[in-house]
């Protein structure tokens, strides 16, 4: 005790302050950045392993701040979730992705687009109506839209979430469980959800060619998904060897740097044109 612990607690205190200030800064800058066009959606292809010309894309948010530089979604999504601003981001992402979908469909590109939802979005009862309105105004068929939700999102206020999920599914869009394997959802819960896709988290995929444990987990997850009538996607596919393994296991779709990193919309459209030749 004495001086030493005082110094230590002082150090902890200032460490906490710095982190807190950074969060405060991001929270204050978020809406200004969104309105200034410093936040954009990038797209990463999702490839059907049996029919490689059947394409999907996942929309991933990117924040390039003029002074703070690149801010990772892993850092700022949590901040705007705590502040409640996530609803603003989600609405913007849905609007932007659906407009880009319209553009792709106009170029005769058959593609689905996935948008990430946060746990809090599922508590907003207006979400299904908002999505329906966007699809209608952009004349985008609901079957071209996929919404990705995490397991943990559904754990909280399960009844309310389930109700909103059913209303979304009834619009005709696809619901996908993201980061599968990292949460705690039970199988009986999984069976009750109106989802049709399961995405295996990249932590199980990145070392698939060398880890026997991951091979076991991935194989049984694919089997489980198929037993429940779900399509299975693997994310974080970085090599040809891993893709071959996944195909061998009967995995339906692959996404990862092997095909492309996430790209700005215009570059993604060029990527698609080159890929489909």
Interface residues with ligand C2E (CB under 6 A) are 44, 60-61, 72-74, 77, 93, 116-118, 178-179, 202, 235-238, 256-257, 262
Judged by beta carbon, residue 81 or residue 157, the one nearer ligand C2E is 81
To the nearest whole angstrom, how small is the minimum distance from the Cβ of residue 130 to ligand C2E?
A: 15
For residues 85 and 221, what is the distance between their CA atoms, to the nearest angstrom? 34
What is the smallest separation between the CB atom of 87 and ligand C2E, expressed in angstroms?
A: 10
**Cα distance between the two ends of the chain:** 71
Least distance in angstroms from the C-beta of 47 to ligand C2E: 12
Q: How far is the CB of 268 from ligand C2E (least distance, A)?
A: 13
Which of Ca ion, ligand C2E, none has residue 31 at its interface (CB below 5 to 8 Å by kind)?
none
CA 132 to chain centre: 20
β-sheet bridge partners, residue 43:
59, 263
Q: Are the C-beta atoms of 260 and 237 separated by less than 8 Å?
A: no
d(CA 127, CA 153): 15
Compute φ and ψ for 256, nearest 5 degrees. Answer: 165, 180
How many positions of this chain bind Ca ion (CB under 5 A)? 5
How far is 177 from 33, CA to CA, in rounded Å?
29
Q: Which residue has the tokens 């010309």?
A: 53
Which listed residue (34, 87, 117, 148) binds Ca ion by CB under 5 A?
148
Cα atoms found within 13 Å of the Cα of residue 259, Cβ hemisphere only: 30
Nearer to ligand C2E, 10 or 266 (CB): 266
Residue with tokens 């906490």: 16
60 binds, among ligand C2E, Ca ion, none (CB under 5 to 8 A by kind): ligand C2E
Least distance to ligand C2E, CB of residue 9, Å: 34
Per the CB < 8 A criterion, the answer to whether 158 and 165 are in contact is: no
Nearer to Ca ion, 151 or 235 (CB): 235
Query: Tokens representing 259?
Result: 């095909």
Polymer length of the chain = 277
Q: Do the Cβ atoms of 130 and 91 come closer than 8 Å? A: yes
For residue 255, state whether it binds Ca ion (rule: CB under 5 A). Answer: no
Closest-CB residue for ligand C2E?
256
Find the binder of Ca ion among 178, 197, 214, 252 (CB under 5 A): 178
Among 29, 121, 179, 252, binds Ca ion (CB under 5 A): 179
The CB-of-150 to Ca ion minimum distance in angstroms stands at: 8
Where do contacts with Ca ion occur on this chain (CB under 5 A)?
Answer: 116, 148, 178-179, 235
């Amino acid at each position: 005790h004495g001086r030493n612990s005082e110094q230590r607690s002082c150090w902890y205190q200032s460490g906490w302050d710095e982190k807190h200030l950074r969060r405060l800064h991001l929270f204050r800058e978020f809406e200004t950045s969104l309105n200034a066009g410093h936040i954009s959606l990038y797209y990463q292809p999702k490839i059907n392993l049996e029919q490689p010309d059947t394409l999907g894309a996942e929309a991933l948010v990117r924040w390039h701040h003029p002074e703070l530089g690149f801010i990772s979604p892993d850092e700022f999504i949590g901040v705007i979730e705590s502040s409640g601003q996530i609803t603003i981001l989600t609405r913007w992402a849905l609007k932007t992705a659906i407009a880009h979908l319209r553009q792709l469909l106009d170029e005769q590109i058959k593609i689905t687009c996935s948008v990430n939802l946060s746990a809090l979005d599922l508590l907003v009862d207006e979400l299904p109506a908002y999505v329906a309105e966007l699809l209608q105004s952009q004349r985008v068929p609901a079957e071209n839209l996929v919404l990705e939700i995490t397991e943990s999102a559904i754990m909280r206020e399960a009844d309310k979430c389930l109700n909103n999920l059913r209303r979304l599914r009834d619009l005709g869009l696809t619901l996908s469980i993201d980061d599968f394997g990292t949460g705690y959802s039970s199988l009986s819960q999984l069976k009750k959800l109106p989802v049709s896709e399961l995405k295996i988290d990249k932590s199980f995929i990145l070392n698939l060619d060398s880890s026997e444990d991951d091979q076991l987990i991935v194989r049984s997850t694919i089997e489980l998904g198929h037993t429940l009538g779900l399509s299975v996607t693997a994310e974080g596919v970085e090599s040809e060897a891993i893709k071959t393994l996944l195909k061998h296991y009967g995995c339906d779709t692959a996404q990862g740097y092997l095909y492309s990193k996430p790209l700005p919309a215009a570059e993604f459209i060029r990527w698609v044109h080159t890929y489909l030749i």
